[in-house]
């Protein structure tokens, strides 16, 4: 995997200290559906309110448009769809073209399956069937802090599934890095398959599944179902749980909309946070729409 964002800060304050205030464009749960991801990302530039996030070349490939954004892929880029390598290649390309720190990739529960395939027995999915070289490269990318778990935005914290209680973003990212470093060592020592699950109980903040089948109220940042999110939870942007449109429950917004809109024209959306507010941009055949959240 050649995902190199140049920097992976824990907070928007990293940009503010540099005199920058980029809008945060977040997209979750692409799940290998490349066309849906393209529709969501290109919708930004189809509005009157926002300049383009990406441009499209003559071959149909997306490229960083050079405008003032952070693009945040909020977990589950992989699995279910049939364009998983292409989705990874898209994110790798955008990270290579954008300034340092401007493309973030967060772990979701399906990226957890890349790290810990022995924990999950999902048939026929990319995260489980990935070849060992690609898996090892992914593990090493997480170990090098290039893929994280969480990010503090202007008024919201971003992670794949979120939490009802405040959590330390730096600590969450450190847990993922620490776990991946140990997995990388197991790879080097030839004991990855046999011993990967031994370390899981030490990283419940991130990888706790919340019961035998996952998604329970005690689950970690990659697994808790949105139905367990309390309205008074800290302000967050999450994915993981499916909706037809970006959905607010009190302080928390769930942005996972791609799968519920497969097979119908439009519905793919991103969430955009700026210092003064937050909105969804949704693709439709008649043009993108902007909805304040």
pLDDT digits 0-9 by tens, 4-50: 999 999 999 999 999 999 999 999 999 999 999 999 999 999 999 99
Element (H, E) at 126: helix 126-129
Strand runs (DSSP E) across 216-284, as ranges?
236-238, 247-249, 252-254, 269-274, 277-282
- Quickly name the fold that domain 13-292 has: Purple Acid Phosphatase; chain A, domain 2 (3.60.21)
For residue 177, the model assigns a pLDDT of 99
The pLDDT of 118-133, averaged and rounded, is 93
Map out the domains of the chain as residue ranges.
13-292
User: What is the reported pLDDT for 121?
Assistant: 82
| Residue 214: pLDDT over 90 | no
Residue 83 has pLDDT above 80, yes or no: yes
Instruction: For 51-107, list the strands marked E by DSSP.
Output: 54-56, 62-64, 69-73, 103-105
């Amino acid at each position: 995997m050649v995902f190199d964002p140049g920097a992976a800060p824990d907070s928007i304050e990293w940009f503010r200290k540099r005199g920058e205030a980029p809008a945060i464009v977040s997209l979750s749960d692409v799940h290998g559906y490349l066309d849906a991801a393209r529709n969501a990302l290109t919708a930004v530039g189809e509005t009157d309110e926002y300049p383009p996030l990406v441009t499209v070349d003559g071959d149909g490939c997306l490229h960083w448009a050079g405008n003032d954004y952070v693009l945040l892929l909020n977990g589950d880029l992989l699995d279910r769809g049939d364009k998983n390598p292409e989705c990874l290649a898209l994110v790798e390309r955008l990270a290579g073209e954008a300034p340092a720190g401007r493309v973030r990739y967060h772990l979701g529960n399906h990226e957890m399956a890349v790290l810990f395939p022995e924990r999950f027995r999902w048939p026929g999915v990319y995260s489980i069937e990935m070849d060992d070289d690609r898996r090892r490269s992914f593990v090493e990318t997480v170990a090098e802090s290039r893929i994280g778990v969480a990010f503090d935005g202007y008024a919201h914290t971003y992670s794949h599934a979120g939490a009802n209680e405040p959590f330390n973003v730096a600590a969450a990212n450190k847990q993922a890095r620490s776990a991946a470093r140990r997995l990388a060592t197991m790879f080097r020592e030839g004991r990855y398959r046999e011993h990967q699950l031994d370390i899981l109980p030490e990283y419940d903040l991130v990888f706790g599944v919340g019961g035998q089948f996952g998604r329970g109220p005690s689950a970690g940042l990659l697994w808790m179902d949105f139905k367990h999110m309390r309205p008074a939870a800290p302000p967050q942007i999450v994915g993981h749980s499916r909706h037809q449109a970006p959905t607010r429950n009190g302080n928390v917004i769930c942005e996972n909309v791609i799968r519920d809109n497969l097979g119908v024209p439009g519905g793919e959306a991103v969430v955009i946070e700026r210092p003064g507010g937050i909105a969804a941009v949704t693709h439709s055949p008649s043009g993108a729409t902007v909805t304040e959240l």
